[in-house]
């Protein structure tokens, strides 16, 4: 399946191909993003890393770092 994910820290949307039944954690691994440095929304609701992904899910990877 293909997932579009918006990465807030880079202000970019990337399209990633994943195996069926993949989870958020698989997406983060594919993008090489550390799971402790972000939290995720799926269709505008916060979800945990074990959440399963489906085609057309709207994923946002939000940074927990602010600095300052």
Partner 1 sequence: MTCKNCSIKPVYSQISGVKLCRSCFIKYFEKKVIKTIKKYNLIQNNDKIAVAVSGGKDSLSLLYLLDKYAKKYKNQKLIAILIDEGIETYRPKTIEDAKKLAKELDIELKIYSFKDEFSKPLDKILKELKENACSVCGTFRRYLLNKYARKLDVTKLATGHNLDDEAQSILMNQFKGNIEVSARLGPITGIIKDKKFIPRIKPLYFMTEKETAIYSYLKGFTSKFIECPNSYDSYRDEVRNLLNSLEVKYPGIKYSIVNSFLVTLPLLKDHYSKSRKMEYCSKCNEPCSGTICKACRIIEKIKN
Q: Provide the minimum distance between the beta carbon of 20 and partner 1 in the complex, in angstroms, as a whole number.
A: 18
Task: Please identify which residue in 12, 15, 47, 59 interacts with partner 1, judged by CB under 8 A.
Answer: 47
Residue 12 in the binding site for partner 1 (CB under 8 A): no
- 51: Cβ–Cβ under 8 A, 6 or more apart, which residues? 23, 24, 40, 42
Query: How far apart are the C-alpha atoms of 50 and 8, rounded to whole Å?
Result: 20
The Cα 40–Cα 31 span in angstroms is 13
Residues 21-40 that bind partner 1 (CB under 8 A): 34-39
Size of the site for partner 1 (CB under 8 A): 22
Residues that bind partner 1 in the complex, under the rule CB under 8 A: 8-9, 34-39, 45-51, 62-68
């Amino acid at each position: 399946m293909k997932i579009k994910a918006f990465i807030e820290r880079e202000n970019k949307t990337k399209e990633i191909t994943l195996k069926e039944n993949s989870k958020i954690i698989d997406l983060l691994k594919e993008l090489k993003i550390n799971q402790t440095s972000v939290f995720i929304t799926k269709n505008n609701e916060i979800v945990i890393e074990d959440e399963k992904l489906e085609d057309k899910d709207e994923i946002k990877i939000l940074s927990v770092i602010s600095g300052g």
